[in-house]
Structure 1
Amino acid sequence: MMIPSEGELFKKILGPAWRQLHPDIQARFDKNPLPGKPLYYTGSLSELRCSRFGKLLGYLSMPFIKGALMPYNDADFPVDIQVYSRQNCPSIFKRRIYRLHARKPVMFTSFMSESAKGEVLEYVGMGLGMKLVLEVRDGNLHFESDGYFWELFGVRVPLPDVLTPGKTFLCHRNNSSNQFDIRIEIRHLLFGTTFTQAGVFREVTP
């Protein structure tokens, strides 16, 4: 069984557009985390913001998907990321530890996989997830959500947009061979921007 990597999945989804990515980004995603040998990244968030509606959603969802929607406003705090695989599992897992000021660290784990239709799916917990559309712009990698769903017994049930946090926009922008920026914005159809995260990261050797 092939060891999974985000790069293999992204190459398949992007097709020829993969070659338009900055070579540093290609190399970064080409790394396959062996089971028991995760990849480590560290950095800091310069911005963590949520609107009043986002704060409400964050607190309501915390018992189910703690960390996916953080109902806090903070800045300039460390974040550690671990990317790993599991034996005989095609998914790629990403664990983030947010070390906010004056709060206990918040840990959030999601995993990414390919659907039978060749879609990129990211699951955030309790069967909740979103379909992601990938695009390359100016050599950087962009993700946009294309609908949220709740998966029950292998069946994906679409969620109405108005009942979700909003459309997710993520940009992975390259700075150097060992440093990159991440910016995430979630924008609701009625309530505007609900969540924002922005930070800079680098790969570290354990």
Structure 2
Amino acid sequence: MTAGDPIFKSVFGKDWDKLPPVMKKHYAVRSNSHDRVVVKGKLDIKISPMVSLMARVSGMLLAYSGKSIPVTVIFRSDHQANSSTTNTPFYFDRTFHFHDRGDITFCSRMEQIDSNVVVEFMRFGIGWKLAYEWDGKKVILRHKGYVWRLFGKLLPLPLSWIMGKGHAEETPLSDDTFSMWTHAKHSLFGPTFGYAGDFKVTEVKCPK
């Protein structure tokens, strides 16, 4: 990754230049910067009772279901990060504006670990390992397992037995809007959680 490049340019590799404008805006945040991208939209959210209980105990995931929930997501970097590192974090700060529960925030950070492979870390060093792909029409996030970062090492974590395998897709709709859906699906119990909805990029603050 070259200094001044978006963090995700090296994740998408040769496909970066093929991405439509909305995807480049979505992933415009550069390493070691004050960059900020904001998207707003509405999501239909379905959380299974088991995942809801896990989320309430651990705080790692969203615990509540709902229809057409307004959501604000801020993408940012860490301006104090060492610009020479290859795994500069890309932060997701999500705020769910529930009508009956008020605002609930869920934050995570993504780190590139190998070419197009990224880990989305939540609390306690637990993360979802995934591969980013552009198939010419949409961004696909393919499940590569769950991990636990302990003393700097990534250890496989058999959460698939409980959560199922994750999957996500982001489809451009216009130069400023995209749709997304994500879920975890268990081979026996079916979907354990899922989000689906449309977003609009409302702010791109990436000064030269």
Q: TM-score scaled by structure 1?
A: 0.83
Instruction: Rate the CA distance shift 1:65–1:4 in 2: closer, same or farther, 3 A.
Output: farther
Partners of 1:186 and 1:8 in 2: CA distance: 26
Q: 1:122 and 2:156 equivalent?
A: no
Q: 1:62 and 2:56 equivalent?
A: yes
Distance apart, 1:168 and its partner CA: 1.0
Task: Indicate the residue corresponding to 2:3 in structure 1.
Answer: 2
Instruction: Rate the CA distance shift 1:83–1:195 in 2: closer, same or farther, 3 A.
Output: same
Matches within 5 A, 1:138-153: 138-153=136-151
SS in 2 for 1:150: strand
Deviations 1:140-166 (A, max 9, x none): 101022100111111122112544412
Q: TM-score scaled by structure 2?
A: 0.82
CA RMSD after TM alignment:
2.4
SS in 2 for 1:107: strand
Task: Indicate the residue corresponding to 2:66 in structure 1.
Answer: 74
Deviations 1:81-110 (A, max 9, x none): 101111242111010000112013110111
Distance apart, 1:33 and its partner CA: 7.4
Matches within 5 A, 1:127-166: 127-166=125-164
Partners of 1:62 and 1:3 in 2: CA distance: 39
Partners of 2:124 and 2:55 in 1: CA distance: 11
Instruction: Rate the CA distance shift 1:34–1:185 in 2: closer, same or farther, 3 A.
Output: same
Partners of 1:138 and 1:195 in 2: CA distance: 27
Q: 1:191 and 2:189 equivalent?
A: yes
Instruction: Rate the CA distance shift 1:24–1:36 in 2: closer, same or farther, 3 A.
Output: closer
Kindly indicate whether the alpha-carbon contact (under 8 Å) linking 1:74 and 1:101 is maintained by their aligned counterparts in 2: no
Instruction: Answer with 22-31 or 54-63: which moved more.
Output: 22-31
SS in 2 for 1:184: strand
SS in 2 for 1:2: coil
Kindly indicate whether the alpha-carbon contact (under 8 Å) linking 1:22 and 1:140 is maintained by their aligned counterparts in 2: no
SS in 2 for 1:75: strand
Unaligned runs of 5+ in 2: 82-87
Instruction: Answer with 76-85 or 155-164: which moved more.
Output: 155-164
Unaligned runs of 5+ in 1: none
Partners of 2:55 and 2:138 in 1: CA distance: 31
Identity of aligned residues (%): 22
Partners of 1:126 and 1:189 in 2: CA distance: 26
Matches within 5 A, 1:167-178: 167-178=165-176
Instruction: Rate the CA distance shift 1:164–1:146 in 2: closer, same or farther, 3 A.
Output: farther
Amino acid at match of 1:86: D
Instruction: Rate the CA distance shift 1:82–1:26 in 2: closer, same or farther, 3 A.
Output: closer
Distance apart, 1:125 and its partner CA: 1.6
Amino acid at match of 1:87: H
